[in-house]
Amino acid sequence: PYAFNARPWELKKTETVDVMDAMGAAIRVDSRGPAVLRVLPRINDEINEEWISDKTRFAVDGLSRQRLDTPYIRDNGRLRPASWKEALDLAAARLSAAAPGRIGVIAGDLQDAESLKATLDLFRALGSANTDCRQDGMALGTGPRESWLFNASIAGLEEADVILLVGTNPRFEAPVLNARLRRRWLAGALEVGLIGEAADLTYDFDHLGETASALTALAKARTGFARVLKGAKAPALIIGAGALSGPHGAAVAHAAAQVAKAFGMSWNVLHIAASRVGGLDMGFVPGEGGLDARAMTAKGALDVLFLLGADEIDLSASDAFRIYLGSHGDAGAHAADLILPGAAYTEKDGLYVNLEGRVQMGQRAVFPKGEAREDWTILRALSERLVKTLPYDTLDQLRARLFAEHPTFGQIDWAPKGQADLSAIGAAGDLGGAPLASAVKAFHLTNPVARASVTMAECAALAAGPAKLAAE
């Protein structure tokens, strides 16, 4: 799509971080004026080497389509443009009028750490314990940090000789990581087992079962793949977001941790949301007595629900007044009563924590569209109207507070490479009988930027097959 649009020497080149998945690939954003024209990989041997996924490379046209460039207020069922003053005054009035226990916030998957921190500070100052960054209902989020990290590290998978995949499809959830696994398998140095729905992973694997009960059977087995694990020098367990969400997520996590403990495997969580680890690291989970994301969207649960770029959660049952802060006119904006236009990831400086726990710095390539503003500045302005003024006026001051309260965010570009306390993960319980499925159903349509992209829409239609193309 970039061909014939610009000459390379006309472009401004900005080194930043990818947010299309949780790996945090090193990328270069090339822009001209207000438009991002292409995204290319940067070499980073510890994460993506010289590769990026097709989605990262070709979803750039989604950054200029379906954008929110002015505040909107819903009157009589229809959204109308509004001024910033009117929008912020309305947001402040609604939040002030509700009791602390009747307001809550859900954070989305593409948020930078600064916007998460400002939101968390504001709602804690308002007295609300209803905060959550886990739209999918992931069971992890409390306890030691290692319980939600990819502890072997991405580069460390080069040393693994046996890998057990649980409820994940790395080809869709982290394509560049999957390419590392394929390379090691092609060299004859890797054996792979899978518990969950079978898929074309581009390498052979032993399919041990579709449901979580296969975990219990594997822990007790003495032959087959269990024998392979017993003889492994560096085995690793990779559990996906799909296995950790839903009503049985905690029980599945516990069962998987027991398998990892029995066979001496490293514990690795394959997240799909770029903001998830950062949110969990700073405690963006329900406070004492607070509601989680699913509970906040139930009918009658809240009076005011603040959506910080949250587009992947079902809001059909919620009857709360919904405030949406985000960059695209996606699901969250469609359900909102008040829209505050924010910046996309290429339009702001921000910190992101990848699945390894590695803190990376994203850089602004272009300015926000229209009247849109950087997320943390919107929250800072809103806090003044609520008479709960946040104690920072600049991004540097916000980061200083973040580093002081959560020191791991100051460890830029360092992956901890620890090991989880496997006995403290999850809780024993009913494993359920449903297959452990990948959290990614349509690779090309996983976030608002990708869903706004014409290129990704065409790719998704092709991937769906002839029937989908005929219907369109």
> What's the pLDDT tens digit per position in 334-369?
999 999 999 999 999 999 999 999 999 999 999 999
User: What is the Cα–Cα distance from 245 to 439, expressed in whole angstroms?
Assistant: 9
Mean pLDDT of the chain: 95
Residues 6+ apart with CB under 8 A from 423: 257, 261
Task: Point out the least confidently predicted range of 251-255, 262-266, 407-411, 416-420.
Answer: 416-420
- List, for residues 287-313, the tens digit of each pLDDT value: 999 999 999 999 999 999 999 999 999
pLDDT for the residue 435: 93
User: Which parts of 143-235 fold into alpha helices (H)?
Assistant: 170-173, 175-186, 213-220, 225-230
User: What is the Cα–Cα distance from 471 to 3, expressed in whole angstroms?
Assistant: 30
- List, for residues 178-202, the tens digit of each pLDDT value: 999 999 999 999 999 999 999 999 9
Residues 6+ apart with CB under 8 A from 405: 282
User: What is the Cα–Cα distance from 455 to 55, expressed in whole angstroms?
Assistant: 9
Residue 348 has what DSSP assignment? Answer: S
Tell me: pLDDT of 468 over 80: no
pLDDT for the residue 151: 96
% of the chain residues with pLDDT over 90:
93
Quick one: which of 204, 176, 177 has its CA closest to 190? 204
User: What is the Cα–Cα distance from 332 to 324, expressed in whole angstroms?
Assistant: 6
pLDDT for the residue 124: 97
Report pTM.
0.95
Between the CA atoms of 270, 273, 279 and 281, what dihedral angle is there, to the nearest 10 degrees? 20
Under DSSP, is residue 16 helix (H, G, I), strand (E, B) or coil?
strand
Tell me: pLDDT of 470 over 80: no
Tokens read off for 166:
């649980």
Helices (H) and strands (E) in the chain, counts: 17, 17
* Amino acid at position 430, single letter: D
CA 189 to chain centre: 31
Q: Estimate the crossing angle of helix 113-125 against helix 395-405, to 10 degrees.
A: 80
- List, for residues 91-117, the tens digit of each pLDDT value: 999 999 999 999 999 999 999 999 999
User: What is the Cα–Cα distance from 31 to 10, expressed in whole angstroms?
Assistant: 9
The continuous run of DSSP H or E covering 332 comes out as helix 331-334
The residue assigned the tokens 């490293």 is: 266
pLDDT confidence of 221, banded at 50, 70, 90?
Answer: confident
pLDDT confidence of 466, banded at 50, 70, 90?
Answer: low
pLDDT confidence of 230, banded at 50, 70, 90?
Answer: very high
Rounded mean pLDDT of 319-333?
97
Beta strands at 103-107 and 191-195: parallel, antiparallel or unpaired: unpaired
pLDDT for the residue 73: 98
For 78-94, the DSSP string reads: EEEE--HHHHHHHHHHH
C-alpha angle with apex 304: 303 to 308, nearest 5 degrees?
A: 155
pLDDT for the residue 1: 84
Distances 445 to 173, 179, 260 between C-alpha atoms, Å: 12, 21, 32
% of the chain residues with pLDDT over 70:
99
Rounded mean pLDDT of 32-58?
96
Q: With respect to CATH, is domain 67-472 assigned 3.40.50.740? A: yes
CATH topology of domain 8-63: N-terminal domain of TfIIb (2.20.25)
Map out the domains of the chain as residue ranges: 8-63, 67-472
- List, for residues 378-403, the tens digit of each pLDDT value: 999 999 999 999 999 999 999 999 99
Beta strands at 266-270 and 304-308: parallel, antiparallel or unpaired: unpaired
